[in-house]
Amino acid sequence: MLSTHYAVTGNVAVISLDHPPVNGLALAARQGLLRDVTRALESSEIGSIVLTGNGRIFSAGADITEFGTPDALAEPSLRTLIEALEDAPKPVVAAIDGVCFGGGLELALGAHYRVAAAAARIALPEVKLGLVPGAGGTQRLPRVLGLRAAADMITDGAARTAAVLAELPGQKLLDLVVDTDVESAAVRFAESLGNSVPLPRIRDLTVDRDEDLAPLRATLAKRGRGLRAPLVALDLVEQARGPFSDGTSAERAAFTQLVDDGQSAGLRHAFFAERAAQNVPGVTKDTTARTVSKVAVVGAGTMGTGIAMNFLNAGIPVALSESSREALLRGVATIRRTYEAQVEKGRLAYTAFVDRMSLLETSLEYADLASCDLVIEAVFEDMDVKRAVFTELDAVMKPGAILASNTSTLDIDLIAEFTRRPSDVVGLHFFSPANVMSLLEIVRPKKVSDEVLATALEVARRIGKVPVVAGVCDGFIGNRMLARYRRAADDLLEAGASPGQIDSAIEQFGYAMGPYRASDLSGGDIGWAVRKRQYLENPDVRRNEIADELCEMGRFGQKTGAGWYDYEDGRRDAVPSPVVAELLASYYQRNGIRPQSYSAESIVQRLVFSLVDEGARILEEGIALRASDIDVVYIAGYGFPRYRGGPMYYAETVGLSTVEAALRADGIEPAPLLVELARDGRTFD
Ligand code: 3HC
Ligand code: NAI
């Protein structure tokens, strides 16, 4: 089946792509397009061609699922198709609506003219998949936007609206931007062209805005943390200064190389994993999500304020509730300050700030929340306080309202039982800072209804979070694995590795921050308070002597100017600390330990394989629905390098038997599931 429609309006052939779900340019779509373009060129009735999408989306680009299959290499290739458009003797107008990404934009760049809806989202997102545009994008975009604007767009991969792109000085990307129906506007545009020749071809243009790309290169090298594609893309953009054919040959070679690169495979895994995470047993197309038009947040502390901002940002009214007037005022001030800082940095328009604040209501009475559709509790992490809050909420909230808890450690099954409506109670575990971090663990208590889960997934989508459903256990998916990872780091520390060695090994691996720098950033006192509670509750629990001693010295991290590292003059640069070196030396001496030295590789193995081992247990217990969900949690919430695909995927690339052997060598009995899969030569999913 060919995935296009051919229609004629006057003397204009309108060729529309119709290849669900996102008009990916798979072989059938390419064949359909070429057939229709040929037909229009051969017809004497046709004077010009309009190329359009399905009204909702122009095209999301190459079909990613086709990569690595024979279809990807079959003719017509995307390049052949683009050449056919560009060489066409009749004017070709691309009518861009909805999404125009990757190969979709490259296709539009092959047209002679482009008409776009103002709200259309336009991007070359290939770097997000570890790739570079492979069908002329790196050579044509700089010729219509200038070197720097094109380089920014290609190396960050982010979407810009047509309205924004049309404002770029001297841009030749868009010939017309409309607020009305783009297809009719494009037809009128095509009709107005008459027989005008010669037809403009982007490949014939030269780059007229030739800016210095060295500063961008320096930024990318620093921020990339080992990701190759953006730097390769930048090299290619630089080549747009030279002949078009040299640039496209270089682009083709780079694309072919990157498609087979492990980084791209990891990023593609992450892309599909995020989408798979939204398939939840029990939630089908027929499960109706409840309407959520107003949200209440109880507790305006660190988390409550961040959570509230997610909804305000999405235009959803919030009632913020507290137990005292002071705490409420403090919470509102935090929200206001956060937005004001964004306005000052030029990241938020003043009018948007005013709009968001106008959606915020405050309350000191539960009764005020009664009409909200969803209430998220973010009060102290104490079961008695949660009980009091949920009992009150149960009494006042309207029937059908969803009662959610942001607890990180408490048993949500128990919390649900504080109410007479356990099927309406769910865990919504946000990550700090909640207005920034993209992960949302949706914790599924035993009695929660499928409808409530469907609503939670829908809410996550509306506020732009990456949701993963987790079962109830201590720490859910993410924090439970984090505890193992931290324990593995501390084991290495106790055996002779320094915080600097451990951090730098894991940062080389691609993490934004190693465990000790991260602890200094968030504050060592938080973990210390938890440990002290554990020591009281269970005198046999293994003590973390080194970390405790550090906290006893008042070294809580950046906020006290000293932690695992020293921070001089209030700066954020972590400087190795002689005090910590001394503390470690005395620990080794006291315990008769001969400090061992570890290679960066063995440190990474120790830390990452403990994540994998705990992940396998989580999978075995059904706390995670699939291994790729665990990958999503670790990438979106814990800084695991996305191009490595997440810990479970990474373990598969290394080989599960290698992981098993390494764990055993460290004296760890691996999870039974891991042993079984390694024995059978299978993978997690
Ligand atoms: N190829 C194949 N499948 C794709 C796809 C693509 N390019 N883009 C999306 N899909 C699939 C998704 O996997 C999902 O499938 P599922 O329903 O089975 O889970 C379905 O389409 C819908 O996708 P989303 O859930 O993401 O839908 P949204 O409406 O939220 O978003 C989108 C749509 C903005 C297009 C988003 O999917 C997206 O950003 N896709 C990636 C686009 C991309 O990276 N394009 C570049 C491809 S590489 C390229 O073009 C190379 C060229 O230079 C040669
Ligand atoms: P916090 O101490 O900053 O804020 C709690 C707020 O709740 C305080 O402002 C307090 O006045 C208010 N409060 C207490 N009892 C109340 C009541 N009965 N009614 C209304 N308000 C009340 O705590 P934080 O860090 O925001 O944590 C809140 C919850 O979020 C906890 O359950 C915590 O485990 C969880 N969480 C915390 C994360 C973090 O990194 N801080 C991350 C993820 C979850």
The CATH number of the domain holding residue 23 is 3.90.226.10
Residues 127 and 80 in one domain: yes
Domain's final residue, options 260, 281, 303: 260
Say yes or no to pLDDT of 229 above 80. Answer: yes
Q: Are 630 and 648 in contact (CB under 8 A)?
A: yes
Residues 345 and 465 in one domain: yes
Return the percentage of the chain with pLDDT > 70, whole number.
Answer: 100
Is 247 close to ligand 1, i.e. is its CB under 6 Å away? Answer: no
Say yes or no to pLDDT of 35 above 90. Answer: yes
pLDDT given for residue 367 in this prediction: 96
pLDDT digit string, tens, across residues 300-345: 999 999 999 999 999 999 999 999 999 999 999 999 999 999 999 9
pLDDT digit string, tens, across residues 381-396: 999 999 999 999 999 9
pLDDT digit string, tens, across residues 14-31: 999 999 999 999 999 999
> Within a domain: residue 595?
no
Residues 523 and 438 in one domain: no
User: pTM to 2 decimals?
Assistant: 0.94
Helical residues (DSSP H) of 240-294, grouped into ranges: 244-259, 262-276
What whole-number distance in Å separates Cα of residue 268 and Cα of residue 265? 5
Say yes or no to pLDDT of 197 above 80. Answer: no
**What's the structural domain count of the chain?**
4
Name the residue with the closest Cα to ligand 1, atom 29.
22
> Within a domain: residue 384?
yes
What whole-number distance in Å separates Cα of residue 36 and Cα of residue 330? 63
Give Cα 555 to chain centroid, integer Å: 33
Residue 126 appears among annotated catalytic residues: yes
Q: Kindly name the residue from 45, 75, 83, 106 that is annotated as catalytic.
A: 106
Residues 306 and 405 in one domain: yes
pLDDT digit string, tens, across residues 239-294: 999 999 999 999 999 999 999 999 999 999 999 999 999 999 999 999 999 999 99
Give residue 545's identity as a one-letter amino acid code: E
Q: Which atom of ligand 2 is nearest to the CA of 388?
A: 18
Residues 495 and 447 in one domain: no
Indicate which ligand has the atom closest to the C-alpha of 275: 1
> Within a domain: residue 428?
yes
Give residue 648's identity as a one-letter amino acid code: M
Residues 439 and 535 in one domain: no
Residues 225 and 374 in one domain: no
Q: Are 477 and 310 in contact (CB under 8 A)?
A: no
Name the residue with the closest Cα to ligand 1, atom 28.
22
| Average pLDDT score over residue span 641-652 | 97
Question: ipTM, 2 decimals?
Answer: 0.96
* Containing structural domain, residue 487: 478-505+513-590
- Among left, alpha and beta (phi > 0; psi -120 to 50; other), residue 315 is left
Residue 344 appears among annotated catalytic residues: no
DSSP 302-340: HHHHHHHHHHHHTT--EEEE-SSHHHHHHHHHHHHHHHH
Residues 242 and 347 in one domain: no
Q: Kindly name the residue from 86, 126, 183, 274 that is annotated as catalytic.
A: 126
What whole-number distance in Å separates Cα of residue 19 and Cα of residue 59? 9
Residues 572 and 643 in one domain: no
Is 254 close to ligand 1, i.e. is its CB under 6 Å away? Answer: no
pLDDT given for residue 330 in this prediction: 97
Residues 329 and 449 in one domain: yes
> Within a domain: residue 266?
no
Both tokens assigned to 333 = 């001030």
Ligand 2 cavity residues, CB under 6 Å? 298-304, 321-323, 327, 378-381, 385, 388-389, 406-408, 430-432
pLDDT given for residue 55 in this prediction: 87
CA of 301 from ligand 2 middle (Å) equals 5
pLDDT given for residue 222 in this prediction: 85
Domain's final residue, options 550, 569, 590: 590
> Within a domain: residue 276?
no
Indicate which ligand has the atom closest to the C-alpha of 304: 2
β-pairing, 575-576 vs 12-17, is unpaired
3-state secondary structure of 455: helix
Please, which pLDDT band fits residue 2 given cuts at 50, 70 and 90?
low
- Supply the mean pLDDT for the chain: 96
Name the residue with the closest Cα to ligand 1, atom 54.
134
Please, which pLDDT band fits residue 1 given cuts at 50, 70 and 90?
low
> Within a domain: residue 392?
yes
Both tokens assigned to 166 = 């049309």
The CATH number of the domain holding residue 659 is 1.10.1040.50
Residues 641 and 536 in one domain: no
Domain's final residue, options 470, 497, 523: 470
Q: Cα torsion for 20, 21, 24, 27, to the nearest 10°? A: -40
> Within a domain: residue 270?
no
Residues 575 and 449 in one domain: no
> Within a domain: residue 283?
no
Please count the other Cβ atoms lying within 10 Å of the Cβ belonging to residue 541.
Answer: 11
